[in-house]
Amino acid sequence: SQKIEQNSEALNIQEGKTATLTCNYTNYSPAYLQWYRQDPGRGPVFLLLIRENEKEKRKERLKVTFDTTLKQSLFHITASQPADSATYLCALSMNYGGSQGNLIFGKGTKLSVKP
Amino acid sequence: EAQVTQNPRYLITVTGKKLTVTCSQNMNHEYMSWYRQDPGLGLRQIYYSMNVEVTDKGDVPEGYKVSRKEKRNFPLILESPSPNQTSLYFCASSPTTFGIYEQYFGPGTRLTVT
């Protein structure tokens, strides 16, 4: 079955630096890959979506890349701030057969930005 | 305000006592889905619905039922809850039939089964 892994459970960085989070997947070729932010006790909040035919997507300080050869997505937060501290989830969805509605999440990376 | 609402937010129940967690969205979204989130296991999809009267199993459907009689509502039913269903549950909706675009999540329902 498809597997999705986020490189680390926790990432600590200094304010102002760029945070880079990794999402790797195996066995299938997702049509779409999404990134969400989750704060403790709250539902995930959508950040960015990238399609299989796109290499990169940007939104303000956020950037996502998608390498279908490496089966990897990188999520970058530039000029990070303490308010960026949260858990970040990647999720992928397929585009074949009856699985279009099936969304698979990684376990998340908890980012802590220290002032 | 565009939102997904869930009720109840917190629930403590006993093994075997049927319960329903309601989910409603006011954005006219086609797609709705239920997830459970457990420490160390992450967010896992239980069931999803791509439209009214259309539902399908996610990765962990055992012990759960759903129905989609109206576009805005997608209740999650536990016919005979067991302690291993103690979890944090999220409902989500998405504007597209396939749900492959952004999902809007509800605030969560924390369920404890004793």
Q: What is the per-residue pLDDT for B97? A: 64
Q: What is the per-residue pLDDT for B78? A: 97
CB nearest B100 (choices: A31, A44, A98): A31
Q: What is the per-residue pLDDT for A1? A: 63
> Whole-number mean pLDDT of chain B?
94
Where does the pLDDT of residue A27 fall: very low under 50, low under 70, confident under 90, or very high at 90 and above?
confident
Which residues are A89's β-sheet partners? Answer: A36
With an 8 Å Cβ cutoff, is B31 touching chain A? yes
| pLDDT greater than 80 at residue A30 | no
Distant-in-sequence, close-in-space partners of B42: CB < 8 Å, separation ≥ 6: A89, A105, A106, A107, A108
Q: If you average pLDDT over residues B67-79, what whole number do you get?
A: 97
Q: If you average pLDDT over residues A15-36, what whole number do you get?
A: 89
Q: What is the per-residue pLDDT for A96? A: 58
Q: If you average pLDDT over residues B33-61, what whole number do you get?
A: 93
Chain B nearest CA to A93, separation (Å): 6
Residue A44 with chain B: CB contacts under 8 Å: 43, 90, 103, 105
Q: What is the chain B residue with the closest CA to A109?
A: B42
- Whether residue A43 and residue B50 make contact (CB cut-off 8 A), yes or no, is no
- Whether residue B40 and residue A43 make contact (CB cut-off 8 A), yes or no, is no
Of residues A57, A81, A68, the one with CA closest to residue A30:
A68
Q: If you average pLDDT over residues A50-65, what whole number do you get?
A: 94
Do residues A4 and A104 touch, judged by C-beta distance below 8 A?
yes
- Whether residue A105 and residue B59 make contact (CB cut-off 8 A), yes or no, is no
